[in-house]
């Protein structure tokens, strides 16, 4: 217990409304100008930067997809060379997986989760800022290298021995491996921030059993990131040391093993798929509830499915390696495990269908994406169950059937929900709604364009067309199917363009949204759109899973946090009983400067390992200054006017 | 805005502004990073066994196993370091600034000594990282652990300086000291299996 200092200003019945708003703004706002912008630790600003950057990478990687589809539209096309094609498909996959899909899910969560939980900022706000800068620098490094014709060209999973020093001389694969380091540092930092925020900063009364399903999905995902991402970081570290300092982890001539690469890569790579997919299921749960006007059916079943998927995801990685030759027992085990993971996902889908069935569905644009998701994802899930069978997998391995399968689960299973979620939370981000009419046009174009592009690939794959070929001879029977896929790709691109133009136009011209334009139930809708810098004037308290539906305008709040200093509330892990008033970090430039010091070290280490030794000094100094307290003594209540 | 007045349902002013252990956000951050780094160690160890399973003998000839002296001295020193570490954690949680200041200096000195011994360890492995995959994985284990000794030493050194300034009197700094001690436990506990894998398994296998 602390002594209550009566001189410290706190919110309460005497300090509420406009005066409270004014004082909290003074405490929570960041310095103005570029310096302030670069110093920001506000989760909303960081979240928006993350979202915009991730969509930027989505666009450029999408353009690469169009280039590939143009090349493949007809046989024996001479548009791009084999070497350029290798770089393009590697860049497409790498960017989509590492710079778009995983970060964009974390990005939305960074914006939305603290609002859903009723808190003022995330835990470790500076680490959150650092995470964004590391991610940005890694992405820039990769794309600058590509522009200089040093783009990686060994596929997004960079299999050894192809990616090793013998078969990939030059710097291309080093760039890839170091991009992994950047994005994994960023992803791991964001995961720790996310897990701590969800476990410790929920509104009073929001027990684990009353937590929004999106928060549940992000909690599971944060834990999955913590256990999965080290595998790829270690793997790429071993690869780059094989390439640069002569270790032999993957070199069979010196007692290493090329398959070790695949084991470590897929120990990360398979959970990665669910790291992308589970946040999307969280989006779907939120949107289905809101637009069905009832809570999600069988909440405990959905939560247990999320946890089960998270656990099972770590037991599947070898199904990516069926073609490498395995013991019989290995085949049987990983086939069974791969089929098992379909069960919790199936349960979730039935729960959403039941929610729509039992509710009064309103078919606004986000709900269209939900329906599009269910249809498309079920198809992708079923081809996944097919591929879990070893004989079929051996036949279809590395064909376009696999390309079709994973685009169904990744675009259908993650991008559709993401576009729905963007439409859904757009009014919260910007204060304005996106156009319904153009939203429907975008949905129709994306949905039709998607199926036109990827459905034929199942057949091209079964007809034997391999992945990652820059061209194919005429007369294999693949011509028409490829042409259809290419036409579909441009329709799909037109759909994405419509979506983005709609968003950009509505940023200025959209209909003004109130705090809760969809009549939704979550706490993020209890504050204004966009929220003030401190999120909530008083900390909300909840008693149910759907507070705004149950309490309406009379949402209870708790008082007593300081208003002259940045303070947020931590609560107990399970019951969310108020525990401590923790100070929240002020904005500072040091996370950015630390990221620059560490980033320069990483990039330079591609050229000489001594960079790690030299770079240690500025990095350590930057981190030490970051850690050093900036406001040493508790400042007294400032005199306002 | 046309919002009705809020419904006040309780007051938080009486809550403390800091708490040790799992009541502090710092503790959760440290646990998160321990899980991450623990996963790194576990996977490196998995890679060690994977490479070992491909061999007829371990270490593969003609390399002898590492010499024991430096690694064993290092291990003993780490185990002994838990004594001041336990005392410092307790002192921090009781807010004893003088003890904390002195013992942090001791811990910094221990860290420095460990780094010196570690240098001799690299010299006693009897194999280079570029000799073969066995050499690579042995060096990887030792290097991975050394980064932890190094970062923890840097961390402890900065914290020691901090606690000797006027910032040291703040309650939150005692949380930092306590969590720093917790992290040191992690660093020495993960060393124990690595010690066995580097120095003893090649003798027994």
If asked whether residues A580 and A602 sit together in one domain, one would say no
A104: Cα separation from own chain's centroid: 4
**Cβ atoms < 10 Å from Cβ of A586:** 17
If asked whether residues A553 and A602 sit together in one domain, one would say no
Q: Which of A127, A229, A560 sits opposite B11 (nearest CB)?
A: A560
Q: Which residues of A touch B142 (CB under 8 A)?
A: none
Q: Any idea which residue has 């994994």 for tokens?
A: A184
Q: Tens digit of pLDDT per residue, chain B (205 long)?
A: 445 678 898 999 999 988 999 999 999 999 999 999 999 999 999 999 999 999 999 999 899 999 999 999 999 999 999 999 999 999 999 999 999 999 999 999 999 999 999 999 999 999 999 999 999 999 999 999 999 999 999 999 999 999 999 888 888 899 999 999 999 999 999 999 999 999 999 998 7
pLDDT in tens, A74-90: 999 989 999 999 999 99
CB-based contact (8 Å) between B3 and chain A?
A: yes
For chain B, the distance separating the N- and C-terminal CA atoms, rounded to the nearest angstrom, is 75
Query: Is A284 part of a structural domain of the chain?
Result: yes
Task: Name the domain count of chain A.
Answer: 2
| Cβ(A248)–Cβ(A338) below 8 Å | no
If asked whether residues A319 and A420 sit together in one domain, one would say yes
Q: Which residues of B touch A5 (CB under 8 A)?
A: none
Question: What is the average per-residue pLDDT within A205-210?
Answer: 96
Q: Which residues of B touch A538 (CB under 8 A)?
A: 6, 8
| Cβ(A117)–Cβ(A215) below 8 Å | yes
Residue-level pLDDT at B167: 86
Query: Is A3 part of a structural domain of the chain?
Result: no
If asked whether residues A561 and A602 sit together in one domain, one would say no
Residue-level pLDDT at A576: 96
| Domain assignments of chain B as residue spans, ordered by start | 24-54+68-204
Q: Which of A204, A257, A553 sits opposite B50 (nearest CB)?
A: A257
pTM over 0.90: yes
The DSSP annotation for A367-385 comes to: HHHHHHHHHHHHHHHHHHH
Domain that holds residue A615: 589-636
If asked whether residues A553 and A599 sit together in one domain, one would say no
CATH assignment at residue A300: 1.20.210.10
Cα torsion B115, B117, B123, B125 to 10°: value is -100
Q: Which residues of B touch A254 (CB under 8 A)?
A: 131-133
Q: In Å, how far are A253, B2, B51, B68 from A247, measured between CA atoms? A: 12, 68, 13, 24
Q: What are the beta bridge partners of residue A568?
A: A582
Query: Is A7 part of a structural domain of the chain?
Result: no
If asked whether residues A477 and A527 sit together in one domain, one would say yes
CB-based contact (8 Å) between B146 and chain A?
A: no
Q: Which CATH architecture has domain B24-54+68-204?
A: Up-down Bundle (1.20)
- Give alpha helix (H) positions in A293-341: 299-312, 328-340
Question: Cβ separation of A234 and B47 shorter than 8 Å?
Answer: yes
Strands laid side by side in the B7-11 sheet: A539-540, A556-559, B7-11
Residue-level pLDDT at A174: 97
Q: Which residues of B touch A258 (CB under 8 A)?
A: none
If asked whether residues A552 and A417 sit together in one domain, one would say yes
Question: How many angstroms separate the CA atoms of A278 and A275, rounded?
Answer: 6
If asked whether residues A471 and A613 sit together in one domain, one would say no
Question: Cβ separation of B15 and A560 shorter than 8 Å?
Answer: yes
Question: What is the average per-residue pLDDT within A590-607?
Answer: 96
Query: Chain B: nearest CA to A138, how far in angstroms?
Result: 20
If asked whether residues A392 and A410 sit together in one domain, one would say yes
Query: Is A238 part of a structural domain of the chain?
Result: yes
Name the B residues in 51-110 with CB < 8 Å from any A CB. 51, 54-55, 60
Query: Is A277 part of a structural domain of the chain?
Result: yes
If asked whether residues A470 and A614 sit together in one domain, one would say no
Question: Cβ separation of B6 and A248 shorter than 8 Å?
Answer: no
Residue A464 is classified by DSSP as T
Indicate the residue among A588, A608, A626 that finishes a domain.
A588
If asked whether residues A607 and A517 sit together in one domain, one would say no
Query: Is A1 part of a structural domain of the chain?
Result: no
If asked whether residues A593 and A479 sit together in one domain, one would say no
Question: Cβ separation of A556 and B7 shorter than 8 Å?
Answer: yes
pLDDT in tens, A543-585: 999 999 998 778 999 999 999 989 999 999 999 999 999 999 9
Residue-level pLDDT at B4: 66
Q: Residue A370: exposed, middle, or buried by beta-carbon count in 10 A (0-12, 13-18, 19+)?
A: buried
* The two three-digit tokens of residue B99, written as one number: 């003890």
pLDDT in tens, A108-131: 999 999 999 999 999 999 999 999
| Cβ(A286)–Cβ(A212) below 8 Å | yes
Is residue B8 helix, strand or coil? strand
């Amino acid at each position: 217990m602390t002594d209550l200092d009566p001189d410290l200003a706190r919110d309460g019945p005497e300090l509420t409304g406009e005066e409270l708003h004014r004082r909290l703004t003074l405490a929570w706002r960041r310095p103005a100008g570029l310096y302030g912008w670069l110093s920001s630790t506000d989760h909303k600003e960081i979240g928006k930067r993350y979202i915009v950057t991730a969509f930027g990478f989505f666009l450029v990687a999408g353009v690469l997809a169009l280039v590939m589809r143009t090349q493949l539209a007809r046989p024996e096309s001479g548009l791009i060379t084999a070497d350029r094609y290798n770089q393009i498909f590697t860049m497409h996959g790498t960017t989509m997986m590492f710079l778009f899909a995983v970060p964009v899910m974390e990005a939305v969560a960074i914006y939305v989760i603290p609002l859903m939980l009723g808190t003022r900022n995330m835990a470790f706000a500076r680490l959150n800022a650092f995470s964004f800068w590391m991610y940005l620098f890694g992405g820039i490094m990769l794309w600058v290298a590509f522009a200089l014709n040093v783009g990686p060209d060994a596929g997004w999973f960079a299999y050894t021995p192809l990616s090793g020093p013998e078969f990939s001389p030059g710097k291309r694969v080093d760039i890839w491996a170091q991009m992994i380091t950047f994005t994994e540092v960023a992803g791991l930092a964001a995961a720790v921030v996310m897990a701590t925020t969800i476990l410790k900063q929920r509104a009073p009364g929001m027990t684990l059993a009353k937590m929004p399903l999106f928060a549940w999905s992000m909690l599971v995902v944060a834990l999955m990131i913590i256990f999965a991402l080290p595998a790829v970081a270690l793997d790429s570290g071993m690869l780059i040391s094989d390439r640069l300092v002569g270790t032999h982890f993957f070199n069979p001539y010196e007692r290493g093993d090329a398959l070790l690469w695949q084991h470590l890569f897929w120990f990360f790579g398979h959970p990665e798929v669910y790291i992308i997919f589970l946040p999307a299921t969280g989006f779907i749960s939120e949107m289905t509830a809101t637009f069905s006007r009832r809570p999600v059916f069988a909440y405990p079943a959905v939560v247990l499915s999320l946890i089960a998927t998270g656990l099972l995801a770590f037991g599947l990685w070898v199904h990516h390696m069926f073609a490498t030759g395995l013991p019989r027992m290995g085949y049987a085990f990983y086939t069974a495990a791969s089929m098992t993971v379909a069960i919790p996902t199936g349960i979730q889908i039935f729960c959403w269908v039941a929610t729509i069935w039992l509710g009064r569905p309103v078919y606004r644009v986000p709900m269209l994406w939900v329906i599009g998701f269910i249809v498309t994802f079920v198809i992708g899930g079923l081809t996944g169950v097919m591929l879990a069978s070893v004989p079929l997998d051996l036949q279809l391995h590395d064909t376009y059937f696999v390309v079709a399968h994973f685009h169904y689960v990744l675009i259908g299973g993650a991008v559709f929900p993401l576009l729905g979620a963007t439409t859904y939370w757009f009014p919260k981000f910007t204060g304005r709604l996106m156009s319904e009419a153009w939203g429907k046009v975008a949905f129709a174009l994306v949905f039709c364009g998607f199926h036109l592009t990827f459905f034929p690939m199942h057949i091209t794959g079964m007809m034997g067309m391999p992945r990652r070929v820059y061209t194919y001879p005429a007369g294999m029977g693949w011509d028409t199917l490829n042409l259809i896929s290419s036409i579909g790709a441009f329709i799909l691109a037109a759909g994405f363009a419509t979506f983005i133009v709609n968003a950009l136009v509505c940023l200025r011209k959209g209909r003004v949204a109130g705090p809760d334009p969809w009549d939704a139930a979550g706490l993020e809708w209890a504050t204004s759109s966009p929220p003030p810098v401190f999120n909530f004037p008083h900390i909300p308290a909840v008693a149910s899973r759907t507070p705004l539906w149950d309490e309406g305008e009379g949402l209870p709040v708790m008082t007593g946090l300081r208003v002259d200093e940045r303070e947020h509330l931590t609560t107990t892990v399970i019951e969310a009983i108020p525990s401590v008033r923790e100070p929240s970090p002020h904005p500072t430039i040091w996370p950015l400067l630390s990221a620059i010091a560490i980033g320069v070290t990483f990039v330079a280490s591609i050229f000489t390992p001594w960079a790690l030794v030299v770079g240690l000094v500025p990095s350590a100094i930057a981190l030490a200054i970051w850690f050093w307290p900036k406001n040493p003594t508790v400042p007294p209540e400032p005199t306002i006017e | 805005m046309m919002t009705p007045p809020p419904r006040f349902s309780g007051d938080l002013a009486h809550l403390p502004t800091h708490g040790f252990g799992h009541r502090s956000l710092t503790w959760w951050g440290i646990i998160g990073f321990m899980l991450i780094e623990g996963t790194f160690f576990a996977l490196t160890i998995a890679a060690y066994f994977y490479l070992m399973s491909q061999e007829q003998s371990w270490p593969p000839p003609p390399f002898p196993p590492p010499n024991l002296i430096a690694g064993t001295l290092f291990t003993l020193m780490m185990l002994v370091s838990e004594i001041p570490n336990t005392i410092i954690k307790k002192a921090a949680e009781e807010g004893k600034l003088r003890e904390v200041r002195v013992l942090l200096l001791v811990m910094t000195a221990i860290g420095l000594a460990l780094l010196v011994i570690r240098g001799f360890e690299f010299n006693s492995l009897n194999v280079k990282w570029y000799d073969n995959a066995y050499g690579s994985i042995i060096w990887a284990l030792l290097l991975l652990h050394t980064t932890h000794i190094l970062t923890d030493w840097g961390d402890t050194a900065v914290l020691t300086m901090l606690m000797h300034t006027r910032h040291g009197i703040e309650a939150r700094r005692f949380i930092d000291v306590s969590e720093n001690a917790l992290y040191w436990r992690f660093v020495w506990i993960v060393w124990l299996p690595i010690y066995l894998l580097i120095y003893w398994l090649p003798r027994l296998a």
